[in-house]
């Protein structure tokens, strides 16, 4: 499933710079995650970097966008044609 950023976001921007899928951007009040781009870092890393770097723990799984690991990898491959996943 894609991740989302809760209202506790302090808009520090740490998550945006870590997202290799460019799924995170600055919203009106907090940063936001584009669920169509978020792969939970599948293809890039073993775990979601946004959640690892967030100082207030507001990057969490989004229950409205449930996906299997296989679906996330497929999404990553469509976004990165010709690349080999760095992490599976």
User: pLDDT for 65-84, tens place per residue?
Assistant: 999 999 999 999 999 998 88
- Quote the number of domains for the chain: 1
Q: What is the predicted pLDDT for the residue at 69?
A: 93
Residue 56 lies in a domain: yes
Task: Give the C-alpha separation, 26 to 77, whole Å.
Answer: 25
Residue 38 lies in a domain: yes
Query: How many angstroms separate the CA atoms of 60 and 80, rounded?
Result: 24
Question: E strands of the chain, at which residues?
Answer: 3-5, 24-26, 31-33, 59-61
Q: Over range 27-40, report the average pLDDT.
A: 96
pLDDT attached to residue 52: 97
CATH number at residue 49: 3.30.70.20
Domain that holds residue 11: 3-79
Q: What are 40-54's pLDDT values in tens digits? A: 999 999 999 999 999
Instruction: Determine, yes or no, domain membership for 87.
Output: no
Please give the model's pTM, rounded to 2 decimal places.
0.90
Does 88 have pLDDT greater than 80?
no
């Amino acid at each position: 499933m894609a991740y989302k950023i809760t209202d506790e976001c302090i808009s520090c921007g740490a998550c945006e710079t870590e997202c290799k899928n460019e799924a995170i951007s600055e919203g009106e009040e907090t940063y936001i995650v584009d669920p169509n781009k978020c792969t939970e870092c599948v293809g890039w890393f073993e775990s979601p970097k946004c959640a690892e770097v967030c100082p207030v723990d507001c990057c969490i799984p989004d229950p409205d966008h449930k996906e299997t690991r296989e679906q996330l990898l497929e999404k990553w491959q469509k976004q990165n044609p010709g690349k080999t996943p760095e992490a599976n």
